[in-house]
Amino acid sequence: MLEVKNLKKRFSSGIFFKSYLDAVDDVSFSIAKGETLGLVGESGSGKSTVGQCVIRLIEPTGGTIMFNGIDLRSLNGRALNRVRPSMQMIFQDPDSSLDPRMTIGQSIAEPFRLKKVARNEVKGEVLRLIEKVGLSPEHYNRYPHQMSGGQNQRAVLARVLAINPLFIVADEPTASLDVSVQAQILHLLMDLKREYGMTMLFISHDLAVIRHMCDRVAVMYRGKIVEQGPVSAVFESPAHPYTRLLLSRTEEAEQSVKQENGSGDAKGCRFRGRCSLARAVCETTEPAFREIGAGHTVACHMTVLPKAEITHE
Ligand SMILES: Nc1ncnc2c1ncn2[C@@H]1O[C@H](COP(=O)(O)OP(=O)(O)OP(=O)(O)O)[C@@H](O)[C@H]1O
Ligand SMILES: [Mg+2]
């Protein structure tokens, strides 16, 4: 369904002198139909930028994005607008997806109207979806500000179902909700995924959530994917020192690296400064991906060491 190769996004900044940041640098992955790929990594590692590039909400600097056989980067204007509805984004904050001037019913009805569904059928369809996402008919005439965050995120999901996209990017879809509601929304997403066979890129810094929601996971560090594989393989035998750090000491790993992110220095491994295994080769040569299990790849010079030796250091 989706094949991303060598994706790159460079942000330029600086008023008096030019500086740049490679927020996404040479990222490649693919997602099969019906599959959910998790994207995990600390704040500032480039997860949202990947998600937004993939559906061309922002313009990538380089790379190719094949979506359902179409080269997305070659499209513009009308051709792009035609593909747009088949890719939807669910944001952390439901308010950014709902029009505050529209009632919940109107928001969910809009995609049906655009698809020219007969007027007298629309209301029935909307009520069916309202029920499907666990809202009730009384929410139909409410405005977003009259709903809770969790209820609004349900409405966003109902709207997404009305659009019926081929592919969804969910960027921390529960991060703004409180813990009990988070679990409900995640369960709802899982149900919908099963029922509709949705294909999804699921962004989260919460490893437990990724493990629950995803088939495969890609771990990002400072703009690069450092390890990728089936959820079971990555969680049970993490191979990259950064993945291990994420899995063991969540707090330290979650420290933002925004300040050290500006990199003109493309040589070597980006993780070497924080890595207890770093050797001379890590200073000079960027590690290439190696396959260490079925569909399980890692970019690290040091994982050739037996596991026991690594964990003792
Ligand atoms: N429009 C922009 N202009 C300049 N820099 C940007 C822009 N958007 C993002 N960045 C920078 O790109 C880097 C990656 O940002 P991104 O939002 O993709 O990270 P993230 O992994 O989603 O983080 P978080 O977990 O905090 O959401 C950050 O250093 C960020 O400051
Ligand atoms: Mg983000």
Question: Would you say residue 103 lies in a domain?
Answer: no
Question: Would you say residue 117 lies in a domain?
Answer: no
Question: Would you say residue 144 lies in a domain?
Answer: no
Query: Which of 47, 204, 257 to probe ligand 1 with, by most ligand atoms within 8 A of CB?
Result: 47
Expressed as residue numbers, the domain containing 178 is: 2-68+166-312
Residue bearing the CA closest to ligand 1, atom 3: 11
Q: Which pLDDT score, from 0 to 100, does residue 266 have?
A: 64
Residue 251 predicted with pLDDT over 80: no
Task: Give the Cα separation of 223 and 46 in Å (integer).
Answer: 5
Q: In total, how many domains does the chain have? A: 1
pLDDT tens readout for residues 39-72: 999 999 999 999 999 999 999 999 999 999 999 9
Query: Which atom of ligand 1 is the closest one to the Cα of 52?
Result: 18
% of the chain residues with pLDDT over 90: 68
Residue 254 predicted with pLDDT over 70: no
Question: Would you say residue 60 lies in a domain?
Answer: yes
Question: Would you say residue 127 lies in a domain?
Answer: no
Question: Would you say residue 160 lies in a domain?
Answer: no
Q: Which pLDDT score, from 0 to 100, does residue 160 have?
A: 93
Half-sphere CA count of 205, side-chain side, radius 13 A: 19
Cβ of 45 closer than 6 Å to ligand 1, yes or no, is: yes
Q: Please report, for the domain that includes residue 13, its CATH number.
A: 3.40.50.300
Question: Would you say residue 108 lies in a domain?
Answer: no
Residue 77 predicted with pLDDT over 90: no
